[in-house]
A and B are shown apart, each in its own frame.
Chain A
Amino acid sequence: MPDAPVLEVRGLTVEYDTAAGSARAVDGFDLDILPGEFVGVVGESGCGKSTMLFGVAQLLSPPARVSGGSVRFRGQELVGMSERELASIRWRGISVVMQSAMNALNPVKQLGAQFEDVMQVHGERSREVVRQRSEEVLRLVGIDTVHLKSYPHQLSGGMRQRAMIAMALLFTPDLVIMDEPTSALDVVAQRSLMMQIKELQRQLGFAVLFVTHDMSLVSHFSDRLVVMYAAKAVEIGRTRQVFEAPGTPNTQGLMDAFPSLRGERVTLTGIPGSPPNLLDPPTGCRFAPRCPKRFEMCDIPPRLYETGASLAACHLHAPAAEEAVR
């Protein structure tokens, strides 16, 4: 029998209130994450991936709010939970590593003191346990334990980011949510960090929900990939499959935005145009205005069709349309 999912998101909708009305930054998002799985979420800027992440972690602040849907963590419904109830789940069950997390470290406190803070706030009082655990997690991420006495500015950017990941692992959570944790790092440090995360996953068995705009980064590390566009999930599938056979022109466009190191030097075009205004999204397929393969059916919003082992929200895979295109 398959393991129960660690996270079940159904119909998650996040709205932003503006003077000009409400914009849906996330519109009916569904996702299941199994224990130990690494799920990458990619998409253009403005597609809603970070907002979705914050919505899942219940970290949205006004003017954004979860206006619909459910987020179940280990069976418990998170939407609508009070801060106190959430506090017991945060850090122990779900932890979050943010973008530029290295700047989230308190510059006037030693690393060890900050780890201690986190542990004490979430219920661990014993000094001895705190010290041991802090040393353990630092070793896990490959930082010398002597740095428990260091201040953040004494560590390099890569080390600080790893320290944040260590902090996220203090209570061995079941799910670690990461919002572009590598974007401020150089390419060598990035790679090293990703391999570290993968290794930790193997050792500790936590699931990862990883948001990034850099598809090539997740391509080698994620088990499954979710592609988002204009507040919706437009493709979900096993990473290799999505890369080998992208189900939507959007996904293809994203992949084509990467200059390759090996292989031919060709002129790339990226995706022309810009994402729609979420205050007034198009009624049909939201990508249609920019899609090189649009046709008449695209005036109705696509659902997620099956394409082999992935799901893609594109009429090119609608059974009837396949014949029309041919």
Chain B
Amino acid sequence: MTTEPAAGPTPLIEARGLTRHFRVGGVLGHKTLHAVDDVNFSIGEREIVALVGESGSGKSTVARLLARVYKPTAGEIYYQGRPLSRFRSRKELLAYRSDVPMVFQDPFASLNPAYRVSHGILRGMALHRPDIPRDRRREEAERIVASLGLDPAGDVLDRYPYELSGGQRQRIGFAQALAYRPRLIVADEPVSMLDVSVRIGLLNLMVQLRDERGVSVLYITHDIASARYVADRVMVMYAGHLAEAGPVEEVLQRPLHPYTRLLLDAVPDPRAPLPAEQSAEPGEPPRVVDPSPGCRFRWRCPLAVDVCEQVTPELVQLRPQHGAACHVAAANLGVAAQARTTNGG
């Protein structure tokens, strides 16, 4: 299927029908915010998958569902084939957490300001690396930090967060994740709060992690150009739904969903010639509270037709490995958009 890696063994992570709703409107609120609705994807070993979307698309919620900050309202996440809801004991959950850690967006807020930056790494090792005795933990922390380019490692570890630059703090964030020897790092917009000239270093770091250590990364971002730079596959999210998914070059050079095209057009590229004027006001993503059926992009979509208002499109494969949730795109390629896919999903 389009949101899966090429055929092979059980994927590392598989999400089926993943849904998360929040109650809004105060204590007696009856309204439901549909942050994530019926999302299916999987992530394999040794790959970087980018999850792209604007704010409000639900991408951060997906990250938190994977990192077990929230439990899904519906649907299930399978880790190496086992559903997470069956991980009940603290021990099992800890084992999952050491395989799937998270790196946060704000490099400053994600470090406790009251402690030196070594704190999170050492605590992480205490919880997840029983193989390292207490007196060797510091040494291991220094090794990890040095391997991420922070030098001199011992000195950096003894600093407080405010004494480091944004790029350095974010490397510490990655060091915390690496201390667990993870299989998959969920990186929630890890570079968007960093200066542009610092981003490349961290993006290269993620590629290095995949190539040299075999760690997969779920790279969540709103910057589609950086997604192209690091990712093998890309998934585009809009208003809680997956709009499009497929190999990164394929999706970016031949986008199927009008939203993907909108995102691509919005990216300024200094090396490209001056773009044509943008005609209409592109609008903004909706807050999905108690939504009606139908495509959630229809108000901003230049191609919307009647069926878009009545039937919510599902993600279907329209080209090899490449799928989109769009009635118009499906119709153009001669496929019915509501058809359920052949395996899973």
- A residues whose Cβ falls under 8 Å from a Cβ of B: 44-45, 142, 156-159, 186-192, 194-195, 213-217, 219-220, 243, 253-255, 257-263, 265, 267-271, 274
Contacts and interface: CB of A to CB of B under 8 A. Distances in A.
Contact of B195 (A45, A186, A189, A260): A45
Interface of B: 54-55, 165-166, 195-201, 203-204, 207, 222-226, 228-229, 249, 252, 262-272, 274-275, 277-278, 281-282, 284
A195 B268 CA distance: 12
Given A262-B272, A269-B200, 5 more contacts: A191-B278, A215-B196, A220-B275, A262-B271, A268-B229
Contact of A158 (B195, B203, B270, B284): B284
Contacts of B271: 243, 260, 262-263
B166 A45 contact: yes
Contacts of B268: 191, 194, 216-217, 219-220
Contacts of A213: 195-197
Contacts of B272: 261-262
Nearest to A186: B54
A194 B207 CA distance: 32
Nearest to A215: B270
A257 B268 CA distance: 14
A32 B266 CA distance: 31
A257 B270 contact: no
A196 to B, nearest CB: 9
A187 B263 contact: yes
Contacts of B264: 261
Contacts of B262: 188
B55 A186 contact: yes
A181 B333 CA distance: 41
Contacts of A195: 277-278
Contacts of B266: 187-188, 190-192
Nearest to A255: B270
Nearest to A266: B229
B56 to A, nearest CB: 9
A259 B229 CA distance: 6
A45 B197 contact: yes
B282 A257 contact: no
Contacts of B274: 220
A190 B268 CA distance: 10
A158 B269 CA distance: 21
Given A189-B284, A192-B282, A258 B263 contact: no
A38 to B, nearest CB: 14
Q: Which of A214, A253, A270 has the most CB of B within 10 A?
A: A270
A188 B200 contact: no
A264 to B, nearest CB: 10
A204 B77 CA distance: 54
B200 A261 contact: no
Q: Which of B166, B264, B266, B270 has the most CB of A within 10 A?
A: B270
A44 B198 CA distance: 9
A214 B225 CA distance: 13
A254 B284 contact: no
A57 to B, nearest CB: 22
Contacts of B207: 267
B280 to A, nearest CB: 10
Contacts of A44: 195, 197
Q: Which of B252, B268, B278 has the most CB of A within 10 A?
A: B268
Q: Which of B272, B275, B277 has the most CB of A within 10 A?
A: B272
Nearest to B284: A156
A255 to B, nearest CB: 7
B268 to A, nearest CB: 4
A302 B243 CA distance: 52
Given A187-B267, A270-B197, A265 B229 contact: yes
A194 to B, nearest CB: 8
Contacts of A158: 284
Nearest to A263: B271
Given A190-B266, A192-B278, A259 B228 contact: yes
Given A187-B263, A188-B262, A195-B278, A261 B224 contact: yes
Contacts of B267: 187, 191, 261
B270 A259 contact: no
A197 B199 CA distance: 27
A261 B269 contact: yes
B282 A45 contact: no
A23 to B, nearest CB: 16
A261 B225 contact: yes
A216 to B, nearest CB: 4
Nearest to B269: A261
B198 A259 contact: no
22 contacts: A45-B195, A157-B55, A187-B223, A191-B267, A191-B268, A192-B282, A213-B195, A213-B196, A216-B269, A216-B270, A254-B197, A257-B199, A257-B200, A259-B200, A259-B226, A259-B229, A260-B271, A268-B204, A268-B229, A269-B204, A270-B198, A270-B201
Nearest to B203: A259
Contacts of B225: 258-261
A187 B224 contact: yes
A33 B191 CA distance: 33
Contacts of A255: 270
B228 A258 contact: no
Contact of B204 (A217, A258, A260, A267): A267
A215 B199 CA distance: 13
A192 B54 CA distance: 14
A257 B197 CA distance: 6
B228 A261 contact: yes
Contacts of A253: 197
